[in-house]
């Protein structure tokens, strides 16, 4: 039984496919959209229709790019001695926000996950190794999530990249997040912060 | 500064207009949509473009309707002796789900709110009174939110409808929600449940 008008039910079904959106939230969004002006709806529809045309993936670093050239692969702007390995195109923007990293990026697109049978082949480390050699990269910064999948992938990458001579491999530091209070920090983080303590 | 590609930023700006959606959620949705197939995006865009064409508002009860006729105003299916006053078209579906109400509806579209300068004129009670007289309604059930605005509107409606002879005006009962434990119920609800206690 569709309790809502059919068109609205179809819209709700589509919105429910979004991450973290359940029935109630999808209904809320759909009813909200009912109140929008026709031309606003038109503009939103237009944006959705053109995502794939306007935004593509760089064949070199796999970051998002517009208009045929990747600004993160431009060697006149970026330092090719350091390369940062990230899991998804979105992570790039978080790192760019810091404004302290000027090197190159390499988007893996996935993380190792034996449970979901994502195997090392999916990481395409051959491509990464070829880039490192071709560009003369001296340091690789592994900037992956501090999760089980992130840890597994980082360890695997380290083993793979060790075969390249003279390459330094580092990973983002673990420890206390800024503005945190010790009594609210989980034990695992505290252990990492203790063992990785930095001299003052 | 737009940190994301322009097209993605525009999409995020649109998604941020949705209720309860902040920057982080809008970004999450936008990146999720990047991974959709072209034809799925096309279908979603199509649904958005056609909302206004497919779904309109009944000129009689102001509920949502499809295809030119309102199924909630059909007197062969509904009991015209009882009329339920609700705030928004969405509330209708919550009441229909209960399957115990077979009367007519009247959607106010808004609630009184002195703070947001929504005055009694916005409620268009004249329209409501005309309907009550024309249809020979015997009971009005006020089914508004149990909020400050809902209470104010219910009181105002009661005063307005009192002028109509022989009309019974009731409101949804206040009290404990089902499956609640007393120690988690707020004081206000408990007071309502006590004063409105029902004989067993």
What mean pLDDT is predicted for residues A93-102? 91
Q: Which residues from A are below 8 Å from B97, CB to CB?
A: 3
All structural domains of chain A with their residue ranges: 6-54, 64-199
Higher pLDDT, A66 or A14: A14
DSSP class of A120 = G
Q: Which residues from B are below 8 Å from A10, CB to CB?
A: 47
State pLDDT tens for residues A119-167.
Answer: 888 888 999 999 999 999 999 999 999 999 999 999 999 999 999 999 9
CATH of A64-199, one of 3.30.360.10, 3.40.1360.10, 3.40.309.10, 2.60.40.2380: 3.40.1360.10
Read off the pTM.
0.79
Residues of chain B with pLDDT under 70: 1-2
Residue A120 has what pLDDT? 87
Q: Which residues from A are below 8 Å from B6, CB to CB?
A: 54, 66
Residue A2 has what pLDDT? 56
Instruction: Give the residue among B155, B143, B147, B136 at the shortest CA–CA distance from B91.
Output: B143
Q: b/e per residue, A25-51, with b = 16+ CB within 10 A?
A: bbbbbbbebbebeeeebebbbebbbeb
The DSSP bridge pattern shows strands B139-142 and B103-107 to be unpaired
ipTM over 0.90: no
Choose from A48, A54, A91, A96 for mutation: most chain B CBs within 10 A.
A48
Q: Quick one: tokens of B36?
A: 């959709």
Choose from B51, B63, B91, B99 for mutation: most chain A CBs within 10 A.
B51
Q: Which of B4, B14, B55 sits opposite A93 (nearest CB)?
A: B4
Q: Which of B5, B32, B40 sits opposite A64 (nearest CB)?
A: B5
CA distance, residue A103 to nearest chain B CA (Å): 17
Report CB contact under 8 Å: B66, A33: no
Residue B72 has what pLDDT? 93
Q: Quick one: tokens of B45?
A: 């865009």
CA distance, residue B137 to nearest chain A CA (Å): 26
Q: Please provide the average confidence, as pLDDT, over all residues in chain A.
A: 91
The structural architecture, per CATH, of the domain A6-54 is Orthogonal Bundle (1.10)
Instruction: Give the residue among B98, B99, B92 at the shortest CA–CA distance from B65.
Output: B92
Is the confidence at residue A29, as pLDDT, over 90? yes
Q: Which of B14, B20, B51 sits opposite A34 (nearest CB)?
A: B51
Least CA distance to A49: which residue of chain B? Answer: B42
Total CB pairs under 8 A between chain A and B? 122
Instruction: Give the residue among B69, B116, B63 at the shortest CA–CA distance from B87.
Output: B63
């Amino acid at each position: 039984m569709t309790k809502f008008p059919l068109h609205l039910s179809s819209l709700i079904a589509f919105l429910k496919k979004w991450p973290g959106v359940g029935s109630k939230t999808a209904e809320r969004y759909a009813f909200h959209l009912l109140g929008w002006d026709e031309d606003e709806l038109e503009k939103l529809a237009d944006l959705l229709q053109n995502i794939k045309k306007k935004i593509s993936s760089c064949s070199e670093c796999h970051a998002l790019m517009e208009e045929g050239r990747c600004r993160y692969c431009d060697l006149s702007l970026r330092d090719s001695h350091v390369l940062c390995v990230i899991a998804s195109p979105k992570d790039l923007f978080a790192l760019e926000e810091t404004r302290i990293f000027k090197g190159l990026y390499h988007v893996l697109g996935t993380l190792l996950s034996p449970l979901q049978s994502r195997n090392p082949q999916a990481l395409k480390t051959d491509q990464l190794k070829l880039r490192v050699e071709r560009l003369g990269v001296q340091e690789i910064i592994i900037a992956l999530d501090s999760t089980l999948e992130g840890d597994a992938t980082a360890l695997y990458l380290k083993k793979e990249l060790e075969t390249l001579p003279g390459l330094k491999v580092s990973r983002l530091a673990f420890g206390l997040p800024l503005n945190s209070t010790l009594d609210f920090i989980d034990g695992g983080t505290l252990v990492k912060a203790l063992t990785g303590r930095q001299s003052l």
